[in-house]
Protein backbone atom coordinates (compact mmCIF):
# COMPACT_ATOMS: atom_id res chain seq x y z
CA UNK A 1 0.00 0.00 0.00
CA UNK A 2 1.48 3.37 -1.03
CA UNK A 3 1.42 6.38 1.26
CA UNK A 4 1.29 10.07 0.24
CA UNK A 5 4.59 10.84 1.98
CA UNK A 6 6.44 8.26 -0.11
CA UNK A 7 8.09 9.03 -3.41
CA UNK A 8 7.14 7.03 -6.54
CA UNK A 9 9.99 4.52 -6.09
CA UNK A 10 9.22 3.97 -2.40
CA UNK A 11 5.51 3.61 -3.17
CA UNK A 12 6.17 1.03 -5.90
CA UNK A 13 8.48 -0.94 -3.59
CA UNK A 14 5.87 -0.86 -0.80
CA UNK A 15 3.17 -2.04 -3.22
CA UNK A 16 5.41 -4.90 -4.42
CA UNK A 17 6.21 -5.90 -0.85
CA UNK A 18 2.51 -5.89 0.05
CA UNK A 19 1.66 -7.99 -3.00
CA UNK A 20 4.49 -10.39 -2.16
CA UNK A 21 3.20 -10.78 1.39
CA UNK A 22 -0.31 -11.53 0.11
CA UNK A 23 1.04 -14.08 -2.37
CA UNK A 24 3.09 -15.72 0.38
CA UNK A 25 0.09 -15.91 2.73
CA UNK A 26 -2.04 -17.37 -0.06
CA UNK A 27 0.65 -19.97 -0.83
CA UNK A 28 0.91 -20.90 2.86
CA UNK A 29 -2.88 -21.25 3.12
CA UNK A 30 -3.06 -23.30 -0.09
CA UNK A 31 -0.28 -25.54 1.20
CA UNK A 32 -1.99 -26.22 4.52
CA UNK A 33 -5.41 -26.70 2.94
CA UNK A 34 -3.83 -29.09 0.44
CA UNK A 35 -2.02 -31.01 3.18
CA UNK A 36 -5.25 -31.44 5.15
CA UNK A 37 -7.10 -32.49 1.99
CA UNK A 38 -4.33 -35.00 1.20
CA UNK A 39 -4.60 -36.38 4.73
CA UNK A 40 -8.35 -36.88 4.36
CA UNK A 41 -8.08 -38.39 0.86
CA UNK A 42 -5.34 -40.81 1.87
CA UNK A 43 -7.27 -42.21 4.82
CA UNK A 44 -10.85 -42.14 3.51
CA UNK A 45 -10.23 -42.75 -0.21
CA UNK A 46 -7.35 -45.20 -0.68
CA UNK A 47 -8.45 -45.65 -4.29
CA UNK A 48 -6.84 -42.24 -4.96
CA UNK A 49 -3.35 -43.63 -4.26
CA UNK A 50 -3.64 -47.41 -4.67
CA UNK A 51 -2.61 -47.24 -8.35
CA UNK A 52 0.34 -44.93 -7.69
CA UNK A 53 1.03 -41.36 -6.61
CA UNK A 54 -0.05 -39.54 -9.79
CA UNK A 55 -3.86 -39.75 -9.28
CA UNK A 56 -3.42 -38.83 -5.62
CA UNK A 57 -1.27 -35.80 -6.41
CA UNK A 58 -3.75 -34.69 -9.06
CA UNK A 59 -6.67 -34.96 -6.60
CA UNK A 60 -4.77 -32.98 -3.95
CA UNK A 61 -4.16 -30.23 -6.51
CA UNK A 62 -0.90 -28.68 -5.29
CA UNK A 63 1.05 -29.39 -8.47
CA UNK A 64 4.84 -29.23 -8.17
CA UNK A 65 4.62 -27.83 -4.63
CA UNK A 66 4.00 -31.36 -3.30
CA UNK A 67 6.39 -34.26 -3.68
CA UNK A 68 7.22 -37.55 -2.05
CA UNK A 69 10.48 -37.70 -0.05
CA UNK A 70 12.44 -40.64 1.37
CA UNK A 71 12.89 -39.33 4.88
CA UNK A 72 11.95 -36.46 7.17
CA UNK A 73 13.40 -34.85 10.27
CA UNK A 74 12.56 -36.48 13.60
CA UNK A 75 10.51 -33.42 14.63
CA UNK A 76 8.08 -34.19 11.77
CA UNK A 77 7.68 -37.87 12.62
CA UNK A 78 4.35 -39.10 13.99
CA UNK A 79 4.09 -40.83 17.38
CA UNK A 80 6.03 -44.11 17.60
CA UNK A 81 2.82 -46.19 17.40
CA UNK A 82 2.06 -44.63 13.98
CA UNK A 83 5.46 -45.36 12.43
CA UNK A 84 4.47 -48.31 10.30
CA UNK A 85 4.37 -48.32 6.51
CA UNK A 86 4.88 -44.56 6.38
CA UNK A 87 5.03 -42.48 3.23
CA UNK A 88 6.40 -38.94 3.48
CA UNK A 89 5.33 -35.91 1.47
CA UNK A 90 6.86 -32.44 1.49
CA UNK A 91 4.74 -29.43 0.58
CA UNK A 92 6.87 -26.40 -0.26
CA UNK A 93 4.42 -23.55 0.23
CA UNK A 94 7.10 -20.83 0.02
CA UNK A 95 10.89 -20.79 -0.20
CA UNK A 96 11.24 -20.71 3.58
CA UNK A 97 8.09 -22.36 4.98
CA UNK A 98 6.04 -25.44 4.29
CA UNK A 99 4.47 -28.63 5.52
CA UNK A 100 5.26 -32.31 5.89
CA UNK A 101 2.54 -34.93 5.48
CA UNK A 102 3.05 -38.42 6.89
CA UNK A 103 0.63 -41.16 5.86
CA UNK A 104 0.70 -44.94 6.11
CA UNK A 105 0.01 -47.86 3.78
CA UNK A 106 -0.83 -50.01 6.81
CA UNK A 107 -2.70 -47.77 9.22
CA UNK A 108 -5.56 -45.27 8.70
CA UNK A 109 -3.57 -42.30 10.04
CA UNK A 110 -1.98 -39.11 8.84
CA UNK A 111 -0.07 -36.25 10.35
CA UNK A 112 0.68 -32.78 9.03
CA UNK A 113 3.41 -30.60 10.53
CA UNK A 114 4.20 -27.07 9.45
CA UNK A 115 7.00 -24.68 10.10
CA UNK A 116 9.63 -22.40 8.69
CA UNK A 117 10.46 -18.73 8.67
CA UNK A 118 6.86 -17.53 8.42
CA UNK A 119 4.27 -17.01 11.13
CA UNK A 120 1.78 -19.80 10.38
CA UNK A 121 -0.74 -18.89 13.09
CA UNK A 122 -2.73 -16.45 10.90
CA UNK A 123 -2.60 -18.94 8.02
CA UNK A 124 -4.01 -21.73 10.18
CA UNK A 125 -6.82 -19.42 11.28
CA UNK A 126 -7.67 -18.58 7.66
CA UNK A 127 -7.77 -22.24 6.64
CA UNK A 128 -9.91 -23.26 9.64
CA UNK A 129 -12.36 -20.43 8.85
CA UNK A 130 -12.67 -21.37 5.17
CA UNK A 131 -15.90 -22.81 3.74
CA UNK A 132 -13.94 -25.74 2.28
CA UNK A 133 -12.62 -26.74 5.70
CA UNK A 134 -16.06 -26.34 7.32
CA UNK A 135 -17.53 -28.54 4.60
CA UNK A 136 -15.10 -31.36 5.47
CA UNK A 137 -14.73 -31.02 9.26
CA UNK A 138 -16.86 -30.22 12.32
CA UNK A 139 -15.28 -28.82 15.49
CA UNK A 140 -16.14 -30.81 18.62
CA UNK A 141 -13.70 -29.58 21.29
CA UNK A 142 -11.04 -26.98 21.98
CA UNK A 143 -8.50 -26.59 24.79
CA UNK A 144 -5.62 -24.23 25.48
CA UNK A 145 -2.32 -25.42 26.91
CA UNK A 146 0.20 -22.67 27.52
CA UNK A 147 0.73 -20.81 24.26
CA UNK A 148 -0.90 -23.55 22.15
CA UNK A 149 -4.53 -24.27 21.32
CA UNK A 150 -5.70 -27.79 20.45
CA UNK A 151 -8.90 -28.26 18.50
CA UNK A 152 -10.56 -31.61 17.83
CA UNK A 153 -12.51 -32.08 14.62
CA UNK A 154 -14.69 -34.89 13.29
CA UNK A 155 -14.97 -35.62 9.59
CA UNK A 156 -18.38 -34.77 8.17
CA UNK A 157 -17.94 -37.58 5.66
CA UNK A 158 -16.93 -40.27 8.17
CA UNK A 159 -17.61 -39.61 11.88
CA UNK A 160 -15.05 -42.25 12.93
CA UNK A 161 -12.30 -40.11 11.38
CA UNK A 162 -11.06 -37.49 13.85
CA UNK A 163 -8.30 -34.90 13.80
CA UNK A 164 -6.58 -32.90 16.53
CA UNK A 165 -4.99 -29.70 15.27
CA UNK A 166 -2.51 -27.81 17.48
CA UNK A 167 -1.25 -24.31 16.77
CA UNK A 168 -0.15 -21.12 18.51
CA UNK A 169 -2.83 -19.15 20.36
CA UNK A 170 -1.71 -15.84 18.82
CA UNK A 171 0.42 -14.50 15.97
CA UNK A 172 4.10 -13.91 16.58
CA UNK A 173 4.85 -17.23 18.27
CA UNK A 174 8.26 -18.89 18.18
CA UNK A 175 9.37 -20.08 14.77
CA UNK A 176 12.15 -22.37 15.97
CA UNK A 177 9.71 -25.24 16.46
CA UNK A 178 6.89 -26.93 14.61
CA UNK A 179 4.12 -24.30 14.43
CA UNK A 180 1.18 -26.50 13.50
CA UNK A 181 0.51 -30.22 13.99
CA UNK A 182 -2.60 -31.97 12.71
CA UNK A 183 -2.91 -35.64 13.68
CA UNK A 184 -5.82 -37.63 12.28
CA UNK A 185 -6.89 -41.25 12.60
CA UNK A 186 -9.78 -43.47 11.66
CA UNK A 187 -11.06 -45.60 14.54
CA UNK A 188 -14.40 -47.36 14.04
CA UNK A 189 -16.78 -46.99 16.99
CA UNK A 190 -16.10 -49.56 19.66
CA UNK A 191 -12.37 -49.89 18.92
Calculate the alpha carbon distances from 180 to 64, 78, 151 in Å. 22, 13, 11
Terminal Cα-to-Cα distance of the chain (whole angstroms): 55
What is the residue-level pLDDT of the chain in tens, covering all 191 positions?
A: 333 444 444 444 444 445 578 899 999 999 999 999 999 999 999 999 999 999 999 999 999 999 999 999 999 999 999 999 999 999 999 999 999 999 999 999 999 999 999 999 999 999 999 999 999 999 999 999 999 999 999 999 999 999 999 999 988 877 878 999 999 999 987 66
Amino acid sequence: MAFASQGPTQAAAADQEGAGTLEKRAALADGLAGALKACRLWVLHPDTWAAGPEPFLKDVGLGDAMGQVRSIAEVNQPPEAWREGNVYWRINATLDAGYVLVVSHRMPICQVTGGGDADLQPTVGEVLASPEFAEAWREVDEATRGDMVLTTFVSREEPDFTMVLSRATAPGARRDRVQVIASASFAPAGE
